[in-house]
Amino acid sequence: MTTHAPAALRPEIDLDVCKGHGRCYMTAPDVFDCDDDGYPVVLGSATTSAAIREVERAAANCPEKAITLHPDVR
């Protein structure tokens, strides 16, 4: 029997449109942190099922649509 690992997702934030209100790092703390000014920092790709759910929710709920999710193929 084969088990399928969830596809990892690599988030990218467009800081030209991000307003820094912080929904993303509150929604997906495994994937995003914030800098000293309250703007998000990508910690890395989402690789677990829980982190993938979080980052998908963060991207869907970003009011500025500043988060793009890319398949993380290695």
Q: Which residues bind ligand SF4 (CB under 6 A)?
A: 13, 18-24, 40, 62, 64, 66-67
- DSSP characters for 18-59? -----HHHHH-TTTEEE-TTS-EEE---B-SHHHHHHHHHHH
- Minimum CB distance to ligand SF4 smaller for 4 or for 16: 16
Measured from the CB atom, is 7 or 35 closer to ligand SF4? 35
Of residues 34 and 47, the one with the C-beta less far from ligand SF4: 34
**Least Cβ distance, residue 11 to ligand SF4 (angstroms):** 9
The torsion angles phi and psi of 5, rounded to 5 degrees, stand at -70, 145
Q: Work out how close the CB of 50 gets to ligand SF4 at its nearest, in angstroms, rounded to a whole number.
A: 19
Tokens read off for 27: 């929604």
Contact call for residues 16 and 65 (beta carbons, < 8 A): no
